Amino acid sequence: MPHITGAADAALMELPWEIPLSAWPEERIAALPRGLSRHVVRFVRHGATVLAVKETNREIAYREFEMLRELEKMDAPCVHAVAVVSRRRTPSGEELSAALITEHLAFSLPYRALFSTALRKGTLNRLIDALSVLLVRLHLHGFYWGDVSLSNALFRRDASEFSAYLVDAETGDLHETLTTGQRSYDLEIATTNIIGEILDLQANEDLDEGIDPFKIGERLESRYTQLWAALTETEVFDTNIPYRVSERVRALNEMGFDVGELDMLTTPDGTGLHIRPKVVDAGFHSRRLMRLTGLDVQENQARRLLNDLDEYRAVHLEISDDEAFAAHEWLTSIFEPTIRAVPRELRGKLEPAQVFHEVLDHRWFLAQSAAEDVPMPVATASYVKNVLPLRPDERAVLGRSLAEMTAELPALTDEFGTTFERRDPFENDNTYAWGEVPVPDNAEPPQVQRVSTKVPAPEREPLSSEIKERDRKAGVASAVAVESAIDLESAVEPDEESEEESDSEESGF
Ligand SMILES: Nc1ncnc2c1ncn2[C@@H]1O[C@H](COP(=O)(O)OP(=O)(O)O)[C@@H](O)[C@H]1O
Ligand SMILES: [Mg+2]
């Protein structure tokens, strides 16, 4: 019998551990994009989740498992370690490698899945930026990676950027803090590996012409160095002290970091102040959004959603001074209906928050062309009909003329009205982790889990009557609207031919 240490999940025993991973039956295997690796790594369907199974030796598997668990406790961006399987034998008694099981990171892409013909400069720069943030975050936790590379990270779309996650911790080491020497050595390995990976792409003609691999290496170094300095450097202020302290904190918030503790020390002559951030945590915007709405999304997505929430407050003056209440209203009348308008069969394409971000972009794009504001339900309908079915074939979308995209707006506006359907705010039906696995036809509708149950309830009497009045007016029309979004979609068949011919910047999956 194999020995399994880790998650309390007896069903793991049922996997065919007596067979080498490379020979596991195809029906268990999930065909998802995977990066380059030394070991055999395969994705395996397991109930509602997908697991990544890596065959390796027993000590290494345990070590990597412990490391990932430690990192996760510190809230570092990495894959979730599930278990280690050892003492594997074939029925004839032959020994098999141990296996490390991690959870497949939903919606993550290895960098090689981010292009279909050639990796573009803009995409590559954004990958490098994400990787430098990841490296700084890991170094702040005292993690020496030892083998930083594009292949050992996973990328998720995060609004217009990417965010990066550690996937291969095999060579890593955790320390109380890292010395400058350790950090620069890690950065040196990173630069060498990445230049190598980019040269490989170049040799295979998988890289856009005009990209200088060495410039990319420099970019990683300078991004890393700038961010590290911003997060850790001591500054001395001698004028306007309170203002300059709050400016430093604000600048860090702007970069997505929360300042948990600040070290402040008066200069020896007593006229100035040394300040140094002592505890910084990533996720300034995502934590704020979580507090207000219970939505658990990535940092840049959160920033985008919070901006939309601010706009909503600016328009709805009657509730704008009550942030929690306005957030609740925005969640139930703007965010959730947008997400619900996406037909189930398209939900595997992007995460909900990413869909929302793209709908906002699409709305802006339509409004520019129509030279007037386009209501959110209309923009959503247009996005679901014109854009989402064609993803990741971005070129096809660009090939569609603006006139075509906007021709229908008046009709859609009539059909959809300007209000989304309102639902019971406590209905627990958000859509966390869409599309981890392709959704089978008979699946339950997707669920967005609110992580916090403390979503503020509408409390104010006069307002709820206003809301009822609004509902009464809008209810019938908008209920029809959401259903017809689904009909609209099914009327559009993605054009398979153009998908094959595509050489869009980033082919999704
Ligand atoms: N939990 C996971 N989620 C998504 N992809 C994964 C996961 N674990 C591994 N992979 C994919 O498998 C590849 C190889 O895994 P890695 O741990 O780097 O193996 P190796 O030690 O052999 O290099 C990664 O680049 C990544 O694409
Ligand atoms: Mg690796």
Please name the residues in contact with 414: beta carbons below 8 A apart, sequence gap of 6 or more. Answer: none
**CA distance from start to end of the chain:** 37
Q: Whose CA is nearest to atom 15 of ligand 1?
A: 37
Task: Quickly tell me which residue has 């200088």 as its tokens.
Answer: 212
**SS3 state of residue 13:** helix
Query: Measuring CA to CA, which residue among 119, 174, 152, 141 is closest to residue 41?
Result: 152
Give the C-alpha separation, 150 to 167, whole Å. Answer: 10
Q: Which atom of ligand 1 is nearest to the CA of 105?
A: 3
CATH T-level assignment (fold) for domain 111-232: Transferase(Phosphotransferase); domain 1 (1.10.510)
Q: Which atom of ligand 1 is nearest to the CA of 102?
A: 1
Q: Is the CB of 151 under 6 A from ligand 1?
A: yes
- How far away, in angstroms, is 475 Cα from ligand 1 center? 48
- How far away, in angstroms, is 57 Cα from ligand 2 center? 14
Give the C-alpha separation, 292 to 306, whole Å. Answer: 10
Q: Whose CA is nearest to atom 25 of ligand 1?
A: 35
pTM above 0.85, yes or no: no
Q: Whose CA is nearest to atom 2 of ligand 1?
A: 104
Residue 132: φ, ψ to 5°: -70, -35
pLDDT tens, N- to C-terminus, the chain (509 residues): 899 999 889 999 999 999 999 999 988 888 777 778 889 999 998 988 889 999 999 999 999 999 999 999 999 999 999 999 999 999 999 999 999 999 998 888 888 887 767 888 999 999 999 999 999 999 999 999 999 999 999 999 999 999 999 999 999 999 999 999 999 999 999 999 999 999 999 998 889 988 999 999 999 999 999 999 999 999 999 888 889 999 999 999 999 999 988 888 998 988 889 989 988 899 999 999 999 999 999 999 999 999 999 999 988 888 878 889 999 999 999 999 999 888 887 887 888 999 999 999 999 999 988 888 888 999 999 999 888 887 753 333 444 566 666 666 776 666 665 555 554 443 433 333 343 334 444 544 444 444 433 334 444 444 555 555 555 655 544 333 333 333 333 333 333 333 333 334 444 33
CATH tag, 3-103: 3.30.200
- How many residues would you count in the chain? 509
Residues with CB under 5 A from ligand 2 (ion): 37, 152, 168
Give the ligand whose atoms come closest to the C-alpha of residue 36: 1
- The domain segmentation of the chain, as residue ranges, is 3-103, 111-232, 235-282, 322-501
DSSP state letter for 92: T
- How far away, in angstroms, is 290 Cα from ligand 1 center? 29
Q: Is the CB of 110 under 6 A from ligand 1?
A: yes
Q: Do the domains at 3-103 and 111-232 have one common CATH topology?
A: no
- How far away, in angstroms, is 347 Cα from ligand 1 center? 24
Signed CA dihedral, 389, 122, 376, 402: sign only: negative
Give the ligand whose atoms come closest to the C-alpha of residue 146: 2
Q: Is the CB of 389 under 6 A from ligand 1?
A: no
